[in-house]
C-alpha cells in the first residue's frame, strides 16, 4: 500500500497543525493524563487522514468486454435512465457510493480512448441524494472502447467532498489499470453502460475498484 500524491499536501499540513496544537497544549496544560489523551487523539486523527489517501496494490486483469468498477464503495443505483450529457439517450446507470473509509481514487472502467471530459460546478448535496448526479459539482469522463462504444462515468462531489481531481483529458488513452482521478472526502461515481450490457452487480453490493466487474459488453 502506498500514499496517493493528492494527499501529500494535506498530510503534511495536518502534521504541522497537530504538532503546533500539541505544543500549545503542552505549554498550557503541562505533562499529564489530559495532555496524553490529547496527543493520542491527535495521532488518531492524523492516522485517519493518512488512511484516507491510501492506495492499495491490486493486480488488474485487462479485459475489453468487462466494465470494471472505477472505485471502491457500495452500489446504490441500478436503473435505466436518459443520459443527457454525452450519450443523449437511454443507458443503464450504476452508481457507487464511497464513504470516507473507502479508497477514493478512481480507475478507468474500460480500455479505449478518452473522447470527452468536462467539469461542472454545482452544489454539495449528500452523495446518495438522487439529485446529486445532476446538481452537485461533478466531472464527466467518456471512454470509447475499441468497438466504438462510449462508456460514461462521472465523478460526483458529496457533502464533505470539496475537490474533484481528473488525471485525464480528451485524446488520452484509457486502460483499466490506470488512474483516472481522485475525489477528496466522501463522494459518488455514476457509470452509464449500454442497455444491452449484462449487469453483474446488485443493489447494496460492496465493490472494489479494478476487481469487481460491474457489467459485460455483449
Asked if 132 is an active-site residue, the reply is no
125: which residues sit within 8 A by CB, 6+ positions away? 131, 132, 135, 136, 158, 159
Phi-psi region of 186 (alpha: psi -120 to 50; beta: other; left: phi over 0): left
Catalytic residue among 42, 71, 132, 187: 187
Q: Where are the beta strands (DSSP E) in 50-148?
A: 54-55, 66-68, 73-83, 89-98, 105-107, 112-120, 138-144
Q: Compute the Cα dihedral for 178, 206, 95, 86 and give only its sign.
A: positive
Sheet containing 179-184, strands listed edge to edge, beginning at the edge strand earlier in sequence = 105-107, 179-184, 163-166
Q: Which residues are within 8 A (CB) of 187 and not within 5 positions of it... i.e. 6 or more apart?
A: 98, 104, 127, 155, 156, 157, 158, 161, 164
The C-alpha angle with vertex 211 and arms to 216 and 61, in degrees rounded to 5, equals 75
Q: Which of 95, 105, 73, 71 is nearest to 1 (CA)?
A: 105
The residues annotated as belonging to the active site are 187
Amino acid at each position: 500500500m502506498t500514499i496517493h500524491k493528492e494527499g501529500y499536501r494535506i498530510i503534511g499540513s495536518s502534521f504541522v497543525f497537530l504538532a503546533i496544537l500539541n505544543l500549545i497544549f503542552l505549554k498550557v496544560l503541562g505533562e499529564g493524563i489530559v495532555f496524553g489523551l490529547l496527543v493520542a487523539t491527535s495521532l488518531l486523527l492524523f492516522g485517519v487522514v493518512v488512511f484516507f489517501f491510501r492506495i492499495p496494490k491490486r493486480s488488474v486483469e485487462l479485459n475489453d468486454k468487462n466494465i470494471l468498477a472505477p472505485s471502491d464503495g457500495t452500489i446504490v443505483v441500478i436503473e435505466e435512465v436518459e443520459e443527457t450529457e454525452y450519450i443523449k439517450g437511454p443507458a443503464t446507470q450504476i452508481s457507487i457510493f464511497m464513504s470516507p473509509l473507502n479508497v477514493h481514487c478512481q480507475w478507468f472502467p474500460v480500455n479505449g480512448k478518452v473522447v470527452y471530459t468536462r467539469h461542472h460546478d454545482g452544489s454539495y448535496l449528500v452523495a446518495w441524494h438522487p439529485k446529486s448526479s445532476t446538481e452537485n459539482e461533478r466531472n464527466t469522463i467518456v471512454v470509447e472502447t475499441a468497438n466504438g462504444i462510449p462508456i460514461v462515468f462521472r465523478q460526483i462531489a458529496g457533502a464533505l467532498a470539496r475537490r474533484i481531481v481528473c488525471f485525464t483529458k480528451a485524446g488520452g488513452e484509457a486502460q483499466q489499470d490506470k488512474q483516472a482521478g481522485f475525489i477528496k472526502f466522501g463522494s459518488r461515481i455514476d457509470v452509464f453502460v449500454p442497455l444491452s450490457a449484462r449487469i453483474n452487480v446488485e443493489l447494496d453490493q460492496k465493490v472494489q475498484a479494478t476487481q469487481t466487474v460491474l457489467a459485460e459488453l455483449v
